[in-house]
């Protein structure tokens, strides 16, 4: 079981995912006030296998909690609650493979509507935000999880009669590539967003800026030997030891591919020459899921990997022996985003949800709790990581990336399969 403390408007909670995917939200205030009738709410959200979170209970608890005399009480009550509620039982209420999981607002107010959200986001990001939205609005949210590619194909297949209302997360370039399936909407928070993170046409709204990094395991790699550039990944010593995901299955991996092509020359063969050499060094060990990169590096299955900054920082914060490098040639900080699905049946609720995601409640929280960079102009700096202006970035072209996605993924597939 893994978890983390989350602080949102309605209180401070310990969020956890059991091995079977069940999600738990436990109010820490009950423990601190010696309330032994602790209520463990099994909300039945879906754990996302593409970007799933991994962290130990002790590592997820902040310093104050570790030092508190109530820590032992917390762990005892938490364990008891989970056992009594049947964390591993058949009544977990979770589902996998993109099946829907329904939630209910915890307030006693009447429901004001319904909303179905498709999301490749990690469960620990989705769940507290969705719960807060439900509590504030009374809107009942149905959350369906899966990989970016899988969820976008679902949106495409349902065109004309969509079963979903909002697509939340996935790289902006992936959303741009599917913009024909999204409803243009300019959020009420538009003027507060950083212009560089906003796309043309209002087909999607940015949620968080996500730099790409090289992650390494400090128990396997000395800091002096850690790859500091994309070029360093071509060293023979990393052959078969690089965690990298198939860009056809992962939106973040596709962004990484375009980042590398841009760094070495996307308009000529320079970029593809690099990619061919990288594929050779990957040595056929292409992974199917983004979560396998940071989990694999943290668990010592791979010494190095290419992943999202926020995913690697979760492990750093949790005390795992991992480090990150921002490639010297330059990286990207492409935002993920949220979009309203075209012809959505719950249009007004969808607009409310988009506004909520980029508002002054959620955006500060994603920085303090998830190490994700806000897309708002008024966002405070995140302590402990470099400011975005201090990171060398490539000139990432959203439009080019979106319009060439099928072509680039096909070429990558031909190279990895030896057809080119």
Residue 214 lies in a domain: yes
Question: Is 126 in the same domain as 84?
Answer: no
Q: Judge if pTM exceeds 0.85.
A: no
Strands (DSSP E) found in 31-90? 40-42
Measured distance CA(250)–CA(257) in Å, rounded: 11
pLDDT at 124 over 90: no
Question: What is the pLDDT confidence band of residue 71, given thresholds at 50, 70 and 90?
Answer: very low
- Residue range 166-178: mean pLDDT, rounded: 92
Q: Output the pLDDT for position 111.
A: 52
Question: Is 247 in the same domain as 280?
Answer: yes
Question: What is the pLDDT confidence band of residue 188, given thresholds at 50, 70 and 90?
Answer: very high
Q: Output the pLDDT for position 193.
A: 98
- Residue range 193-216: mean pLDDT, rounded: 96
CA nearest 206: which of 224, 221, 192? 192
Mention every residue, 6+ apart, whose C-beta is less than 8 A from residue 419. Answer: none
- Residue range 339-361: mean pLDDT, rounded: 98
Residue 163 lies in a domain: yes
Measured distance CA(187)–CA(307) in Å, rounded: 29
| Range of lowest pLDDT (32-36, 66-70, 264-268, 397-401) | 32-36
Measured distance CA(341)–CA(179) in Å, rounded: 9
Tally of domains in the chain: 3
- Residue range 12-26: mean pLDDT, rounded: 37
Strands (DSSP E) found in 9-92? 11-17, 23-27, 40-42
Question: What count of Cα atoms within 13 Å lies in the side-chain half-sphere of residue 267?
Answer: 4
Residue 273 lies in a domain: yes
* Token pair belonging to 403: 């319009």
Q: Terminal CA-to-CA distance of the chain, rounded, Å?
A: 44
**Mean pLDDT score of the chain:** 80
Q: Output the pLDDT for position 404.
A: 94
What does each C-alpha distance from 84 to 2, 7, 41, 224, 394 come to in angstroms? Answer: 18, 25, 12, 49, 52
Measured distance CA(300)–CA(218) in Å, rounded: 9
Residue 48 lies in a domain: yes
Question: Is 199 in the same domain as 238?
Answer: no
Choosing from 64, 95, 126, the residue where a domain stops is 95
Residue 100 lies in a domain: no
pLDDT at 211 over 70: yes
Question: Is 222 in the same domain as 357?
Answer: no
Question: Is 130 in the same domain as 66?
Answer: no
Q: Count the residues in the chain.
A: 420
Question: Is 351 in the same domain as 319?
Answer: no
pLDDT at 30 over 70: no
Question: Is 190 in the same domain as 298?
Answer: no
CA nearest 48: which of 135, 133, 137, 117? 117
141 touches 126 (CB < 8 A): no
Residue 107 lies in a domain: no
Residue 102 lies in a domain: no
Rounded to the nearest 5°, which phi and psi values hold at 200? -85, 145
Higher pLDDT: 56 or 380? It is: 380
Question: What count of Cα atoms within 13 Å lies in the side-chain half-sphere of residue 126?
Answer: 34
Mention every residue, 6+ apart, whose C-beta is less than 8 A from residue 58. Answer: 66
Residue 24 lies in a domain: yes
Measured distance CA(213)–CA(195) in Å, rounded: 23
Q: Containing domain of residue 410, as a range?
A: 210-333+391-416
Question: Is 139 in the same domain as 162?
Answer: yes
Mention every residue, 6+ apart, whose C-beta is less than 8 A from residue 77. Answer: 31, 36, 38
Question: Is 327 in the same domain as 397?
Answer: yes
Higher pLDDT: 46 or 168? It is: 168
Question: Is 272 in the same domain as 340?
Answer: no
Choosing from 38, 68, 95, the residue where a domain stops is 95
SS3 143: strand
CATH number at residue 405: 3.40.190.10
Question: Is 217 in the same domain as 329?
Answer: yes
Q: Output the pLDDT for position 398.
A: 86
- Residue range 316-321: mean pLDDT, rounded: 93
CA nearest 232: which of 176, 281, 169, 266? 281
Measured distance CA(358)–CA(370) in Å, rounded: 15
Report pLDDT digits (tens) over 272-304: 999 999 999 999 889 998 889 999 999 999 999
Question: Is 265 in the same domain as 286?
Answer: yes
């Amino acid at each position: 079981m893994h978890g983390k403390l989350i602080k949102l408007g309605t209180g401070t909670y310990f969020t956890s995912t059991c091995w079977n995917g069940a999600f738990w939200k436990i109010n820490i205030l009950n423990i601190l006030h010696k309330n032994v009738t602790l209520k463990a709410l099994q909300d039945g959200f879906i754990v996302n296998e593409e970007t799933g979170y991994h962290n130990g209970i002790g590592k997820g608890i902040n310093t104050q909690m570790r030092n508190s005399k109530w820590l032992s009480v917390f762990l005892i009550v938490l364990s008891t609650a989970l056992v009594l509620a049947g964390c591993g039982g058949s009544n977990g209420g979770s589902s996998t493979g993109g099946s829907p999981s329904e939630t209910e607002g915890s307030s006693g107010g009447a429901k004001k509507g319904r909303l179905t959200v498709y999301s490749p986001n990690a469960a620990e990001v989705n769940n507290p935000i969705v719960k807060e939205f439900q509590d504030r609005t009374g809107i009942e949210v149905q959350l369906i999880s899966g990989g970016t590619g899988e969820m976008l194909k679902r949106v495409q297949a349902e065109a004309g009669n969509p079963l979903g209302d909002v697509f939340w997360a996935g790289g902006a370039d992936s959303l741009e590539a599917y913009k024909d399936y999204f409803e243009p909407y300019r959020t009420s928070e538009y003027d507060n967003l950083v212009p560089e993170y906003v796309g043309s046409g209002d087909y999607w709204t940015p949620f968080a800026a996500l730099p790409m990094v090289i992650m390494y395991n400090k128990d396997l790699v000395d800091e002096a030997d850690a790859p500091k550039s994309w070029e360093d990944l071509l060293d023979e010593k990393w052959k078969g030891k690089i965690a990298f995901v198939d860009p056809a299955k992962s939106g973040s991996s596709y962004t990484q591919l375009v980042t590398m092509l841009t760094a070495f020359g996307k308009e000529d063969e320079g970029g593809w020459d690099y990619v061919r050499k990288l594929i050779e060094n990957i040595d056929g060990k292409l992974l199917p899921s983004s979560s396998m990169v940071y989990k694999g590096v943290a668990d010592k299955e791979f010494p190095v990997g290419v992943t999202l900054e926020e995913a690697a920082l979760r492990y750093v914060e949790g005390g795992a022996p991992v480090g990150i490098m921002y490639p010297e040639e330059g990286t990207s900080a492409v935002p993920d985003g949220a979009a309203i699905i075209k012809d959505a049946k719950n249009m007004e609720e969808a607009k409310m949800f988009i506004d909520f995601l980029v508002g002054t409640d959620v955006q500060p929280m994603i920085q303090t709790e998830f190490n994700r960079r806000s897309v708002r102009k008024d966002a405070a700096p995140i302590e402990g990581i470099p400011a975005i202006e201090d990171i060398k970035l490539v000139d990432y072209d959203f439009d080019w990336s979106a319009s060439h996605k099928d072509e680039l993924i096909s070429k990558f597939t031909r190279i990895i399969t030896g057809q080119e």
